[in-house]
Amino acid sequence: MTVERPLVHRRTGAERIGPLPDSAAATLREFWEWACSDVLNNTLRGLLAEWLVGQALGVVEGRFRTEWAAHDLVSKRGTRVEVKSAAYVQSWAQKRLSTIQFGIGPTISWDADKGVYGEVAERSSDVYVFCLLAEQDPGRVDPLDTTQWRFFVLGTHVLNERVPSQKTVALSSLRRLGAVEVGLERVADAIEEARLPPER
């Protein structure tokens, strides 16, 4: 028996949750406040980075994120984008600032509409955007301040040619590979420019 993928509705936060044990009802926003206020933690910081890139591309309005998609975003021109994030400061006590590296390993993709895995491990995007929350002062770091972010854009073809089986990449290596550092306002253009290998 095939079970079709359930429809997902965009939520506003006003939806009621309940009844709860004390017969009260809460809202979805209250759950979000409880679960999602620490935007510095690895999971939520990564989602925020993805949303920021989606905002730059103009492709998140009126839509919602699909978990386990083969790539994170698709630009209006059809460019498939993978977004990775890292930060020097974490949401826990640290003895030293984190070393910056990003995951780039080929993976077996998942098709949520068909409910099947791909057959081979690959990088399923055209372009990677590596998002670095660059503030190093724990008292000032704020993932919601977009001026604290740095964006490094690199065509997937570069990774496939130069580091085909590598699973992680350091910031210094990204620069050697030719990743272009841009501000949020230039991310969309940089993505389209990085999509295709240069003509030889």
Q: What is the pLDDT of residues 36-85, one digit of tens each?
A: 999 999 999 999 999 999 999 999 987 888 887 888 999 999 999 999 99
Question: What separation in angstroms does the CA of 61 have from each of 10, 51, 74, 89, 171?
Answer: 11, 10, 13, 30, 31
CB 126 within 8 A of CB 81: yes
What does the domain layout of the chain look like in residue ranges?
39-194
**pLDDT surpassing 70 at residue 199:** no
Span 116-137, pLDDT tens digits: 777 788 899 999 999 999 999 9
AA letter at 19: P
Which pLDDT value is given to residue 73? 95
**pLDDT surpassing 70 at residue 26:** yes
Taking the mean position of all CA atoms in its chain, how far away is CA 101?
A: 14
**pLDDT surpassing 80 at residue 1:** no
DSSP 122: B
Span 167-187, pLDDT tens digits: 999 999 999 999 999 999 999
**pLDDT surpassing 70 at residue 200:** no
Which comes out higher in pLDDT, residue 118 or 163? 163
Distance CA 1, CA 79 (A): 35
Rounded to two decimals, what is the model's pTM? Answer: 0.91
DSSP SS3 for 150:
strand
